[in-house]
Amino acid sequence: QQIQEDLNKQLFDNLVSFLRRSHSEFQEKTTEWTCRMKSREIPTAALVLGVNVTDHDLTFRSLSEVLQNNISPYIALLEAKDCTGVKHLMQKLLGQLMNCYIDVDSLEDEDCVQVSQNRIRCSMTSLINWYESVTKKTDSETPRKKRTSSSKHWQSPPVVVIFKDMESFTTKVLQDFIVISSQHIHELPLVLIFGIATSPMIIHSLLPHSVSSLLCIELFQSLSSKEHLLTIIDKLLLTAQFPFKLGEKVLQILINIFLYHDFSVQNFIKGFQLCIVEHFYSQPLSVLCCQLEDAKKRVNSLSHNQCENIRRLPSFRRYVESQVSEKQVALLTTDSYLKEVIQKLLEDLHVYHENYVSVLRCLHVFTSSLPKYPLGKQIRELHCACLENQVWETEEYESSLQLARMLNKSDLVTMLQQCVEIFVSSSGKEFDKTVEKLKEFLTQFQKLEAEAFQEQDVSVSSQKELQKKTDLYHLQKTLLELKESRRSKKLTKFEMLRFEVVDYIDSLVRNYLVPADHKTLHEIAYFNTASVLREHLNAAPRTALHTALNNPYCYLKNQALKSDGGSISNKAPDICIVYKLHLECGRLINLVDWLEAFSTVVTAVEGPNADAASSDQVDDIIHARFIRAVSELELLGFIKPSKQKTDHVARLTWGGC
């Protein structure tokens, strides 16, 4: 299943390109401001990246790539876990710099290898020496180099040191490094970049004033991960090109994990990948989940078994039932006819997706500016709502239409223009008419504007009329008339037009935003088993243990284990009994009491045939079983041996588990 690989690649490409875009601005700024280096101060960029630590790796990688291409070949990426002391830090730094130097011009690599091999003392001086030698070499070789990429670099490119996770560096190391390097800033143009996950204040809390005054810090804010998510959803889910779709529940789960757990785009993508893998693994018809042209070809080569599979799909059955009887027979018996129909249906599905996306965007334009956002602020919320059920039946939709009927003209016009743009840019063929219609609306609005002037004149004239001196009766009469006209004015042309527009949008929604599971053959493209996803991504090992211990019947389908409520059958496995007993204890558990209670339960199961002597002196086998169960509980982390009292164990859990 090669499609899958393609999809994954596409996914990552998207992300990387996006990141690159977001970083181009940084890099521009960096170039500007490295120019005006001040003496004694190390230019420093503080990058605030947000809490989604997992994404940082990717960000930094692309950042260093960009920097390498445009600014300087000398870049070192440092991580806190490698740098426990200044010595380690310098070692790493030198190693990385010299390696990347080799990358740049492989001619001198022999020298460099030698250097790195007999690197005995990694000090700043050696770094400077190295730097000087390197720059000298490049200077002398400039004629030859000019053809290559190095022409882009400056005469003395700065050495960029990136601290990936500023917070986890030990303060001392950082301070020392900064102080040392500030001594050498004249000889060595150094640029630091700090990656910060929390807030920029951390620099000042980590570094004392004397050190931070050596830095010339400029702050950069990276885009929030929510925006990354938005673009990903935009690019992956809301396009017709990408054949694989997520069902409503699955998408909900993925978004929930993102919003409530980690804000990590990478994890979101991982979940998405898992969905793809799972879909292709579990759905035999997923072969058809590819680009339309390929799919049509593949339909032709379907085997009989696969045809049967299609016939078994619930959505297909619904479709068959809606057909006339001869067709039904033909669909269920002849494979070739079935294939034809499937091709048509797939095409329908594709068209549906195309239309769906653009209408969805259009609706989003309308709803996203309404007060209180009845249908959600983000397009993903709207998407979820549309996938879930028929959106026009929901209350939120009603209220948002109500609100839309109260929009003022300028907003309405801009929205309509946006909608026109969306429809024009979309590839759907059916939208020509819609575009026309919308344009018509727009011209009508313009006309209205002209008319409005006239109307104003009319109203002015009526006002003038009013000002004419008349008797009381006449005045009353004219006022009544005015009132009447005002009431009828409620349906001025503008308002009528507004209603029309909203109704039209409504009809569009009803036509095109049908939930996907009403469509025939939606099973091919949509992945809907949310429980699988949750199980694998958001597992609850503690809950599983808890159920296994409390209610073994969940796993061992034996009638003897069946019990109701919180109680447990006394025939349960040993560990369950021991666990149940330990729940009744406080912080410390007396092993003797525990053993006795256990043997009480176990002997009761085996029957009262045991004589008095053996019950006093606990049976060896029961003893052994008890030992095993207790040590299993210890392994599971429920108890630990305690030294407070002899023959006692301490309970480690607090509460019912």
Partner 1 sequence: MSQPEGKGSGALQVKFVPDEEVLKHIADDAGIKVRKDKTQLTVSLKTFVKKLENISDDEDQEILEEKNYVAALGICAQDSMGNGSSVSGGEVYSFQTPKRSSKMAELASELAQTPGQSVAPNHSECPEKTAKTPQSSSNKKKEFVSTTPYRLRKRLAAPDPYLESESEYSASCSEEEDEEDQKEVSTVLSGRKTPAKTTAASTPPPRNTLAKKNKESKMSNLVEEYFEAHSSSKVLTSDRTLQKLRKRRLTQQTLCDLLKKAPLAYAAEIKELNQQHESLFSKWMQQLHWGFNILLYGLGSKRDLLEKFRTSVLQDSVHLVVNGYFPSITVRSILNSITEEVLEHIGTFRSPLDQLEFIIKRFKEDSSLELYVLIHNLDSQMLRGERSQQILAQLSSLPSIYLIASIDHINAPLMWDQAKLSLYNWLWYETTTFSPYVEETSYENSLLVQQSGSLALSSLTHVLRSLTLNARGIFRLLAQYQLENKDNPSYPGLSFQDFYQQCREAFLVNSDLTLRAQLTEFRDHKLIRTKRGSDGVEYLLIPVDDSTLTDFLEKEDEDV
Of residues 187 and 596, the one with the C-beta less far from partner 1: 596
Closest approach, Cβ 74 to partner 1, in A, equals: 21
Closest approach, Cβ 34 to partner 1, in A, equals: 30
Closest approach, Cβ 181 to partner 1, in A, equals: 24
Take residue 249 and report the two structure tokens written for it. 């529940």
Q: Give the C-alpha separation, 244 to 279, whole Å.
A: 9
Closest approach, Cβ 263 to partner 1, in A, equals: 9
Contact (Cβ atoms closer than 8 angstroms) between residue 294 and residue 322:
no
Q: Side by side, which strands form the sheet with 75-78?
A: 75-78, 159-163, 190-196, 42-48, 215-221
Sole residue written with tokens 């005054």: 213
Of residues 53 and 385, the one with the C-beta less far from partner 1: 53
Neighbour tally for 513: CB within 10 Å: 24
Of residues 393 and 616, the one with the C-beta less far from partner 1: 616
Of residues 391 and 578, the one with the C-beta less far from partner 1: 578
User: CB-based burial of residue 521 (10 Å sphere; 0-12 exposed, 13-18 middle, 19+ buried)?
Assistant: buried
Of residues 370 and 581, the one with the C-beta less far from partner 1: 581
Of residues 24 and 558, the one with the C-beta less far from partner 1: 558
Beta strand residue intervals within 209-334, DSSP E = 215-221, 245-246
Of residues 83 and 521, the one with the C-beta less far from partner 1: 83
Closest approach, Cβ 569 to partner 1, in A, equals: 8
Take residue 133 and report the two structure tokens written for it. 């030698």
Closest approach, Cβ 592 to partner 1, in A, equals: 4
Of residues 451 and 634, the one with the C-beta less far from partner 1: 634
Q: Give the C-alpha separation, 604 to 600, whole Å.
A: 6
Of residues 456 and 653, the one with the C-beta less far from partner 1: 653
Closest approach, Cβ 593 to partner 1, in A, equals: 6
What phi, psi does 236 have (nearest 5°)?
-95, -40
What is the DSSP track for 541-559? HHHHHHHHHH-GGGTS--G
Closest approach, Cβ 101 to partner 1, in A, equals: 18
Closest approach, Cβ 260 to partner 1, in A, equals: 5
Of residues 35 and 613, the one with the C-beta less far from partner 1: 613
DSSP three-state, residue 358: helix
Sole residue written with tokens 């011209």: 443
Closest approach, Cβ 277 to partner 1, in A, equals: 5
Neighbour tally for 437: CB within 10 Å: 17
Instruction: Classify each residue of 127-166 as buried b or exposed e, where b means 16 or more C-beta atoms within 10 Å of its C-beta.
Output: beebbeebeebbeeeeeebeeeebeebeeebbbbbbbbbb
Q: Give the C-alpha separation, 260 to 376, whole Å.
A: 17
Closest approach, Cβ 547 to partner 1, in A, equals: 5
DSSP three-state, residue 148: coil
Of residues 499 and 555, the one with the C-beta less far from partner 1: 555
Take residue 615 and report the two structure tokens written for it. 């019950």
Q: Give the C-alpha separation, 55 to 267, whole Å.
A: 9
Contact (Cβ atoms closer than 8 angstroms) between residue 427 and residue 354:
yes
Take residue 72 and report the two structure tokens written for it. 């300087």
Three state DSSP letters for 617-647: CCCHHHHHHHHHHHHHHHHHCCEEECCCCCC
Closest approach, Cβ 400 to partner 1, in A, equals: 22
Pairing of β 190-196 and β 215-221: unpaired
Give the rounded distance of the alpha carbon of 309 from its chain centre. Answer: 33
Q: Give the C-alpha separation, 245 to 180, whole Å.
A: 55
Closest approach, Cβ 625 to partner 1, in A, equals: 6
Of residues 23 and 648, the one with the C-beta less far from partner 1: 648
Give the rounded distance of the alpha carbon of 484 from its chain centre. Answer: 56
Of residues 146 and 557, the one with the C-beta less far from partner 1: 557
User: CB-based burial of residue 125 (10 Å sphere; 0-12 exposed, 13-18 middle, 19+ buried)?
Assistant: exposed
